[in-house]
């Protein structure tokens, strides 16, 4: 106990800085954990308020989870969620790092800032707006792409009813929106690299490419690992807006656009069973948690310093 | 190891203690209702949640309303409005978390009535109506109270308004006149073809058949759950639930729709279009299908700014959906259910209160021009309420353009309605909720593209039927049939 107090007083400045975040986590992440219980109940409203409703609702065991696995859609939504997220993580990483390096190598600081802001902007747009952007390109009769196809004498394409284009469209749109934000993180890391390393390399006669390969990328490795590990933890969560708004909820595209989150939304918006949506959320978190632990374990085996914990 | 276990159990017991404290807080206050409260001197406060874009002057009007109701029944009223698109979701959270409230707007579309009644969100009203709601029983068409029973009990007071629902073809009169289109003899989907063709050929920039992704061809069936393919034929004698996609009527309609789509009578992106507002604003459409009510042509023409006429596309049928179009329930956690019922009774029988809630304060928001006529003042834009959702419509004052016999026309319309065979049968999905979630997903996948004719039913219909069955539609239908048979036996149909 005495040890603990001494620790606290020695680190009080640091602990104080952690406090707001810790409080936030306590209220919005740890406290609601108790509500996970709803996933195993058939939630019914009780006169006596929220907690009484939870306690008085009937236990139903694993029944709430059944709808996730009951049809062949279970395979489709799991596959789509996983593959899209893997593509987003892998391509997002490549493009973000690439952009960060290019931005850091630009001589003109001013231009670099302009490009950075331009790339950053889409991140702040809501998916609904992005959905309309995309629609203005892909609309059947008024869309830019179909008009361009028309100039070349080609037949217009029914973009919103042909699934074969959508894996590419979705990956592209997601990269367009997310790369700017992530590259800023990497850019900050690059700017933090000790300049003397590059000076030494230049004296040894290393060219730009060699500097990037031998200094920048190795120095970025820890942050790359951390960012990727964090992304892996959310691999079972799909970005609802991307998969619902951008394809305009078009039924014929479901084979390539239906993911866990959209499936849950569509399945439950009429019945509104809180228990079932809680079950879906719990399932996603448990799988995400397991994957983070596994990935972290793997990273630790290879390079102990880069692992999260 | 031992230490770790101890910590966990400590954490759990702390959590339990914490939640007990919280539940104790939430539980209080229910018993303390009586004791001289609820009189003109010491009125109780009623909280009323309703649908619609929040209006600036709501609090101002409710202060006036409260003065009136405090004197009449000893209750003050606070109204909280939630915007159209948010209502369903926000109410679900508010109710589930036990937010204090007394009166809740509910309908088949916004904050689903039957489902929430079954979940325990609403108070059962049978005895309250008998005791405090006599005026309601005498005033509104009895079919409303009868048709909105869930498992034999009333959980909400329906607004007295148009009772049956009837589909019509609406025509943009400007376009119809310009191309010499005659609307006589039009009723079935097939009868539209020559009209659509004329406009398509002569005016390529006009959409002949306007529709959004919610369009479903009319077939003479009543759906057990709206927009799920289980339905009962309107002239049924055996009360058999069928898959609507397997009926000859729907097959024929879908083939026709596909023909229309291919011919370009329908907008190419109808299956993903959320609403036709843009088309209605631009006026570049010939016809669409809509639900009607008496004098609807007038109000459509007024809101679009150009003449709209309509001809029937179906009979006027009284269904669960039409009966449950606008209702007010008393929340299960209401502190003053008796007062809430007294208020609902007054709202549905007292023209002064009903019109105050609807149009605001006389002299500020409106002026009276005759005994039963009003005209809006400029301030009315700060208190523009959806009339249908606020109780008995037939008490409302008339607007300058309304004919004198407006509410008589409603009464005639209501009397002409025919009961659907499954009126007041409400399916309870409790035993099949996981199948229903899967079925719902299949519906979302196929429904719009089939119904708007975007895809060829020859290939897609069998696919859809197969996927529905894989998702468990047959099990849901069997469950619904069991419940319907039991209901039929109970009600001597």
All domains in chain A, ordered by first residue: 70-306 (1.10.3720.10)
**B452 — pLDDT class (breaks 50, 70, 90):** very high
Find, among B424, B416, B435, B422, the residue nearest to B479 by Cα: B435
Chain A nearest-CA distance from B27, in A, is: 5
- Spatial distance between the Cα atoms of B109 and A186, rounded to a whole number of angstroms: 48
Contact between chains at A45 and B437 (C-beta distance less than 8 A) = no
**B33 — pLDDT class (breaks 50, 70, 90):** very low
Find, among B36, B112, B111, the residue nearest to B74 by Cα: B36
Per DSSP, helices labelled H in B350-402 are 351-359
Contact between chains at A67 and B271 (C-beta distance less than 8 A) = no
- Residue A253: the pLDDT is 92
Q: Which residue has the higher pLDDT, B211 or B28?
A: B211
B114: in domain: yes
B27: in domain: no
B13: in domain: no
Per DSSP, helices labelled H in B384-491 are 406-416, 433-451, 457-470, 473-491
Contact between chains at B96 and A252 (C-beta distance less than 8 A) = no
Chain A nearest-CA distance from B198, in A, is: 21
Same domain, B373 and B417: yes
CA B144, chain centre distance (Å): 13
Query: How many CB contacts within 8 angstroms connect chain A with chain B?
Result: 143
- Spatial distance between the Cα atoms of B290 and B219, rounded to a whole number of angstroms: 14
Q: Is residue B10's pLDDT more than 60? A: no
The residue among B291, B319, B347 that closes a domain is B319
Q: Which residue has the higher pLDDT, B1 or B200?
A: B200
Same domain, B42 and B141: yes
| Mean pLDDT value of segment B167-189 | 93
Residues in contact with B474: Cβ distance below 8 Å, sequence separation at least 6, in sequence order: none
B134, two tokens: 């006599």
Domain count, chain B: 3
B282 touches chain A (CB under 8 A): no
**Cβ atoms < 10 Å from Cβ of A269:** 14
Window A:61-90, CB contacts with B under 8 Å: 63-64, 66-67, 70-73
- Helix or strand holding residue A110 (H, E): helix A109-120
Please tell me the total number of residues recorded for chain B in this structure: 493
Q: Which residues of B touch A73 (CB under 8 A)?
A: 438, 441, 471
From the list B30, B433, B448, the residue facing A251 with the nearest CB is B448
Provide the mean pLDDT of chain A: 90
Contact between chains at A140 and B269 (C-beta distance less than 8 A) = yes
B26: in domain: no
Same domain, B414 and B337: yes
B9: in domain: no
Query: Which residue in chain A has the smallest CA separation from B115?
Result: A271
Same domain, B329 and B281: no
**Cβ atoms < 10 Å from Cβ of B478:** 13
Same domain, B179 and B235: no
B25: in domain: no
Same domain, B132 and B233: no
From the list A161, A248, A263, the residue facing B441 with the nearest CB is A263
Same domain, B57 and B156: yes
- Per residue in B30-61, is it b (16+ CB within 10 Å) or e — as a string? eeeeeeebbeeeebbebbbbbbbeebebbebb
Same domain, B183 and B270: yes
- Residue A270: the pLDDT is 65
Q: Which residues of B touch A270 (CB under 8 A)?
A: 112, 115, 225, 436, 440
Chain B nearest-CA distance from A178, in A, is: 26
Contact between chains at A267 and B447 (C-beta distance less than 8 A) = no
Query: Which residue in chain B has the smallest CA separation from A162?
Result: B455
Same domain, B117 and B200: no
The residue among B400, B426, B452 that closes a domain is B426
Same domain, B418 and B473: no
Instruction: Report percent pLDDT > 70 for chain B.
Output: 93
Same domain, B262 and B126: no
Provide the mean pLDDT of chain B: 89
Instruction: Report percent pLDDT > 90 for chain A.
Output: 53
Mutate to test the interface with A, among B92, B108, B269 (most CBs of A within 10 A): B269
| Mean pLDDT value of segment B184-207 | 93
Per-residue pLDDT tens digits for A153-196: 888 888 998 899 999 999 999 999 999 999 999 999 999 999 99
- A109: exposed, middle or buried (Cβ count in 10 Å: 0-12, 13-18, 19+): exposed
Cα distances from B377 to residues B167, B381, B402, in angstroms, run 34, 8, 17
**B108 — pLDDT class (breaks 50, 70, 90):** confident
Per-residue pLDDT tens digits for B46-73: 999 999 999 999 999 999 999 999 999 9
Q: Is residue B13's pLDDT more than 70? A: no
Q: Is residue A106's pLDDT more than 90? A: no
Chain B nearest-CA distance from A227, in A, is: 31
Complex ipTM tops 0.90: no
Contact between chains at B455 and A73 (C-beta distance less than 8 A) = no
Q: Which residues of B touch A47 (CB under 8 A)?
A: 30, 332-333
B248: in domain: yes
- A117: exposed, middle or buried (Cβ count in 10 Å: 0-12, 13-18, 19+): exposed
From the list A49, A251, A271, the residue facing B437 with the nearest CB is A271
Chain B nearest-CA distance from A162, in A, is: 11
Q: Is residue B473's pLDDT more than 90? A: yes
A150, two tokens: 């028309």
The residue among B319, B337, B368 that closes a domain is B319
Window A:24-53, CB contacts with B under 8 Å: 34, 42-53
Residues in contact with B3: Cβ distance below 8 Å, sequence separation at least 6, in sequence order: none
Mutate to test the interface with B, among A27, A31, A38, A51 (most CBs of B within 10 A): A51
Q: Domain range holding B488? A: 228-255+427-493
- Spatial distance between the Cα atoms of B426 and B150, rounded to a whole number of angstroms: 6
B21: in domain: no
Same domain, B267 and B291: yes
| Mean pLDDT value of segment A16-32 | 92
Q: Which residues of A touch B115 (CB under 8 A)?
A: 270-272
Q: Is residue A83's pLDDT more than 70? A: yes
Per-residue pLDDT tens digits for B391-426: 999 999 998 888 999 999 999 999 999 999 999 899
Query: In this structure, what CATH number is given to the domain that contains residue B204?
Result: 3.40.190.10
Q: Which residue has the higher pLDDT, A296 or B31?
A: A296
- Spatial distance between the Cα atoms of A243 and B429, rounded to a whole number of angstroms: 28
């Amino acid at each position: 106990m005495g040890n603990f107090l001494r620790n606290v007083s020695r680190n009080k400045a640091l602990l104080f800085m952690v406090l707001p975040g810790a409080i936030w986590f306590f209220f919005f992440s740890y406290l609601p954990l108790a509500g996970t219980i709803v996933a195993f109940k058939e939630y019914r409203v009780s006169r006596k308020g929220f907690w009484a409703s939870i306690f008085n609702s009937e236990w139903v065991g694993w029944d709430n989870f059944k709808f996730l696995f009951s049809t062949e859609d279970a395979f489709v939504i799991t596959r789509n969620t996983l593959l899209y997220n893997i593509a987003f993580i892998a391509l997002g990483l490549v493009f973000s790092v690439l952009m960060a390096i290019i931005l850091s190598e630009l001589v003109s600081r001013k231009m670099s800032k302009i490009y950075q802001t331009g790339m950053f902007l889409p991140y702040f747009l809501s998916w609904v707006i992005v959905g309309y952007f995309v629609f203005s390109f892909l609309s059947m009769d008024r869309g830019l792409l179909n008009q361009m196809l028309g100039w070349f004498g080609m037949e217009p394409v029914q973009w919103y009813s042909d699934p074969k284009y959508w894996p590419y469209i979705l990956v592209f749109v997601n990269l367009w929106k997310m790369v700017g934000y992530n590259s800023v993180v990497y850019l900050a890391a690059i700017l933090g690299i000790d300049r003397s390393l590059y000076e030494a390399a230049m004296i040894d006669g290393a060219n730009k490419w060699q500097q990037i390969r031998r200094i920048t990328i190795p120095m970025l490795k820890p942050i790359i690992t951390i960012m990727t590990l964090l992304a892996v933890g959310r691999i079972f969560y799909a970005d609802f807006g991307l998969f619902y708004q951008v394809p305009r909820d078009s039924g014929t595209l479901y084979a390539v656009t239906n993911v866990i989150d959209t499936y849950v939304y569509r399945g439950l918006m009429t019945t509104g069973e809180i228990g079932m949506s809680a079950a879906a959320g719990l399932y996603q978190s448990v799988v995400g948690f397991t994957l983070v632990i596994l990935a972290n374990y793997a990273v630790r085996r290879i390079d102990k310093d880069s692992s999260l914990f | 190891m031992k230490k770790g276990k101890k910590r966990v159990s400590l954490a759990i017991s702390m959590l339990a203690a914490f939640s007990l404290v919280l539940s104790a807080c939430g539980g209080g206050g229910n018993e303390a209702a009586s004791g001289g409260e609820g009189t003109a001197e010491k009125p109780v406060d009623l909280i009323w949640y309703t649908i619609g874009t929040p209006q600036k002057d709501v609090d101002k009007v409710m202060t006036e309303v409260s003065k009136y109701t405090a004197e009449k029944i000893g209750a003050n009223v606070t109204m909280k409005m939630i915007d159209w698109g948010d209502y369903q979701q926000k109410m679900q959270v508010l109710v589930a978390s036990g937010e204090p409230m007394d009166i809740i707007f509910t309908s088949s579309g916004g904050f689903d009535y039957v489902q929430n009644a079954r979940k325990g969100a609403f108070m059962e009203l049978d005895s309250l109506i008998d005791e405090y709601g006599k005026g309601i029983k005498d005033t509104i068409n009895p079919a409303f109270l009868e048709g909105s029973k869930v498992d034999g009990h009333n959980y909400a007071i329906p607004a007295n308004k148009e009772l049956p629902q009837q589909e019509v073809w609406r025509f943009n009169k400007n376009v119809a006149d310009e191309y010499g289109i005659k609307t006589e003899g039009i009723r079935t989907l097939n009868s539209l073809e020559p009209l659509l063709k004329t406009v398509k050929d002569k005016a390529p920039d006009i959409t002949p058949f306007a529709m959004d992704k919610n369009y479903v061809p009319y077939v003479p069936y009543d759906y057990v759950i709206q927009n799920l393919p289980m339905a009962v034929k309107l002239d049924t004698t055996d009360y058999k639930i069928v898959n609507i996609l397997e009926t000859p009527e729907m097959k024929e309609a879908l083939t026709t729709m596909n023909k229309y789509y291919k011919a370009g009578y329908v907008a190419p992106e109808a299956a993903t279009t959320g609403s036709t507002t843009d088309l209605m604003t631009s006026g570049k459409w010939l016809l669409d299908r809509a639900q009607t009510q008496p004098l609807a042509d007038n109000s459509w023409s007024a809101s679009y700014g150009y003449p709209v006429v309509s001809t029937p596309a179906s009979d006027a049928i009284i269904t669960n959906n039409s009966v449950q179009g606008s209702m007010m329930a008393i929340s299960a956690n209401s502190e003053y259910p008796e007062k809430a019922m007294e208020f609902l009774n007054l709202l549905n029988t007292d023209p002064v209160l009903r019109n105050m809630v609807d149009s605001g304060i006389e002299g500020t928001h409106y002026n009276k021009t005759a005994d039963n006529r009003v005209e809006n003042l400029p301030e009315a834009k700060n208190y523009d309420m959806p009339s249908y959702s606020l109780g008995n419509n037939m008490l409302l004052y008339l607007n300058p353009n309304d004919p004198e016999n407006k509410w008589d026309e409603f009464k005639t319309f209501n009397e002409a309605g025919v009961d659907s065979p499954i009126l007041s049968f409400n399916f309870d999905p409790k035993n099949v909720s996981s199948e229903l979630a899967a079925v719902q997903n299949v519906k979302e996948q196929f429904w719009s593209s089939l119904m708007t004719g975007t895809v060829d039913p020859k290939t897609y219909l069998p696919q859809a039927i197969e996927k529905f069955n894989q998702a468990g539609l047959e099990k849901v239908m069997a469950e619904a049939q069991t419940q319907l048979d039991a209901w039929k036996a109970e009600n001597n149909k």
